[in-house]
Amino acid sequence: MSEDRSTNGHKSWLDRLVQAFVHEPQSRQELLELLREAHANDVLDIEALSIIEGALQVSDMQVRDIMIPRSQMTTIKATQSPRDFLPGVIEAAHSRYPVIGESVDDVLGILLAKDLLPLLLEDNTDRFNIKDLLRPATCVPESKRLNVLLKEFRSTRNHMAIVIDEYGGVSGLVTIEDVLEQIVGDIEDEHDVDEDSYIKPLPSGDYLVKGLTPIEDFNESFETEFPDEEFDTVGGLVMNAFGHLPKRNEVVELDGFRVRVLNADSRRVHLLRVTVVNP
């Protein structure tokens, strides 16, 4: 068989793979092309290819690319009583919250939701002092590379960092989950759309929308009139607006909406974050 290959002037895909790694690909692009060819030959499935591409991608991305912006942060004021802030904590259902002083720029620390559980056993919370429960807040610049941040998260065992702009003000926050999602895709959590739901509102006022949402349902929910003659789903509508199959965190403006891709693969868009720009 090997003689036949040599005679025909070409090698099998496996031979080329071995040859490539013996001599090492000369660039990241060459490596990606090799891996994509492996997928095309059914040697590497799409999930594995997506994870490898995501792992390579994080070294090129900065915190500013994935952070939750300042305007969408769910914070707790240090002066608030449990009666005041617990409804917001329950609604947001996060595991960690920045606690602020006079403004969002004055982050005093991070509150873990689990540290509030002892309050359930307290008959009187009048003497409650939230500062006694705070963990130190880690601050990172907007320009920090995601691969460096992930390494720091792992070494310090922190799961959240406050993002600081060049003037020292708070521009947002980032979590370890945000970084991991750039590698493995969207992670099912409290923000994910239920299996029986296509559209889910978020506390920030944005919406999570499945790519498979029928345009008819989207129009009904948002009182819009997007045509459904050419495309049946919101994912198809968004792909048409991009003009290509978008990747995670690509953003497009669509008739009064800002649409960010949260999860997509080489075939279709799975999950979108929709912001109403012009109601």
Asked whether residue 53 is assigned to any structural domain, the reply reads no
Q: How many domains does the chain have?
A: 2
According to the model, what pLDDT value does residue 238 have? Answer: 92
- Same domain for 71 and 174? yes
Asked whether residue 27 is assigned to any structural domain, the reply reads no
According to the model, what pLDDT value does residue 8 have? Answer: 46
Neighbouring CB atoms inside 10 A of 217's CB total: 15
- Asked if residue 245 has pLDDT above 80, the reply is yes
Q: What is the mean pLDDT of residues 116-123?
A: 73
- Same domain for 146 and 246? no
Q: What is the CATH number of the domain that holds 155?
A: 3.10.580.10
d(CA 267, CA 228): 20
- Asked if residue 2 has pLDDT above 50, the reply is no
**123 versus 167: which is more confidently predicted?**
167
- Same domain for 228 and 272? yes
Q: Return phi, psi of residue 100, to 5°.
A: -115, 160
- Asked if residue 38 has pLDDT above 60, the reply is yes
According to the model, what pLDDT value does residue 253 have? Answer: 92
According to the model, what pLDDT value does residue 9 have? Answer: 44
Q: What is the CATH number of the domain that holds 213?
A: 3.30.465.10
Which of 2-11, 45-54, 99-108, 260-269 shows the lowest per-residue confidence on average (mean pLDDT)? 2-11
Nearest to 79 by CA among 110, 113, 103, 105: 103
Helix ranges (H only) for 81-230 are 82-92, 146-156, 176-184, 215-222
Boundary (domain end) residue, out of 156, 184, 212: 184
pLDDT in tens, 184-222: 766 555 445 444 457 888 767 888 898 889 999 999 999
- Same domain for 179 and 225? no
- Same domain for 156 and 77? yes
pLDDT in tens, 3-37: 444 444 445 666 665 555 555 666 777 777 777 78
d(CA 58, CA 69): 19
Boundary (domain end) residue, out of 154, 184, 214: 184
Boundary (domain end) residue, out of 127, 154, 184: 184
- Same domain for 204 and 157? no
According to the model, what pLDDT value does residue 30 have? Answer: 78
According to the model, what pLDDT value does residue 208 have? Answer: 87
- Same domain for 68 and 177? yes
Asked whether residue 163 is assigned to any structural domain, the reply reads yes
Percent of the chain having pLDDT more than 70? 82
- Same domain for 180 and 70? yes
**Confidence tier at 164 by pLDDT (50, 70, 90):** very high
- Same domain for 215 and 128? no
Asked whether residue 262 is assigned to any structural domain, the reply reads yes
- Same domain for 85 and 162? yes
- Same domain for 272 and 164? no
For residue 168, what are the domain limits?
A: 64-184
- Asked if residue 170 has pLDDT above 50, the reply is yes
